[in-house]
Structures are given as C-alpha cells and as structure tokens.
Structure 1
Amino acid sequence: MDLRTGGKFTRKNEDLTGKEIAMCVALPGRVVKVNGTKATVDFSGNTMEAQAGLVKIKPGDSVLVHAGCILQVLTEQDRSALEELLKEIEEL
C-alpha cells in the first residue's frame, strides 16, 4: 500500500483477467492541525490535507480518511485494529 497515492493497493488479479487492478480503501490517520474545513492528517509520517467538513474533529483525533475526506473519528482501539488489518493485507 502506498500512502502517498491515497492508500491504493495494487494487486494482480490472475483469477479473472490477469491485469493489475487498484483498490481504494479508507485509511486511519491522526489529525495534526485543523484550518476551517480542512485538516492536515498524518499517516505514519506521511501528511496530506483532507476535507474535514463532514465530522467535528480536533488535533490529535484518530480519523478515517477516504478519497480526501475525513469520514469519521475513530477510537484508539478501532484505529489499532484497522492498522493491524492493513498490515495483514499488505503481506498477502
């Protein structure tokens, strides 16, 4: 998974077409700062700007981001569980 490309997994789909396909997933990150309806979010050292108008957030919150939008605030337990699942997927 490449966090710099918005969290796309690229896998070869040998069962159907043999072509590479990309799958976009929502990723957990941590809010670094908020500026109006935008926020800087840290993904394991990689930062990006995301739209924050859908949910109420503050610096330090763990959030779920998809397609440049913060979808929800995560509990630390949910964030840890998601990170573990993403690590497992990377190893497949």
Structure 2
Amino acid sequence: MSDAAACCWLCERPLGRRIEWHHPLPKSRGGRETVAVHPICHRTLHAQFGNGELARIGHDADTLRAHPVIAKFVAWVSGKPPDFHAPTAKRR
C-alpha cells in the first residue's frame, strides 16, 4: 500500500483492515479512478450526496470536508480506531 493509500481520502485517518474504493467522479458519470476510504466514510458520502452532486464536486475532498454534515462527521469519527463502524444515518 502506498503512503497516499495509507489514509482515508475523506477523513484522513489511517486505513484499517476493511477498505472500500470510492469513485470521486461516479462511474455513472464516466469516472474510472478510485480512492481508498473506510466503509463508514463511503456510506456517509453516499448517504449525503447523490451522483450528480458528487460529479460536480469531483476529486475535491476539501470541498466535501467543508460541507457542514461531512465536517461534523469527520470531527466525530476523527478519534475512532481505523476499523470503527456504526450505522450510517440517511440524508433527511
């Protein structure tokens, strides 16, 4: 695993045993590149954003982290161990 892949693309915590691969530009919008994320981070992204929104944001993780819901999530998960998992709340 390279240094870039050693941390989650969204929360920037070290990755654990379980890794999922997120398409910053959704596959349905032609995206092919993937980034490593924790399962909980991946589910949070897709619970909060649709493919159209993710396509507009693209590879800009800083923009995602600046979104109020994602910022709150990242602050909450920042102290959790790499393999931490919990149910993900759906977007209201």
> Which protein has the bigger helix share?
2
TM-score by length of 2: 0.30
Q: What's the TM-score, normalizing by structure 1?
A: 0.30
Larger radius of gyration: 1
- Name whichever structure is richer in strand by fraction: 1
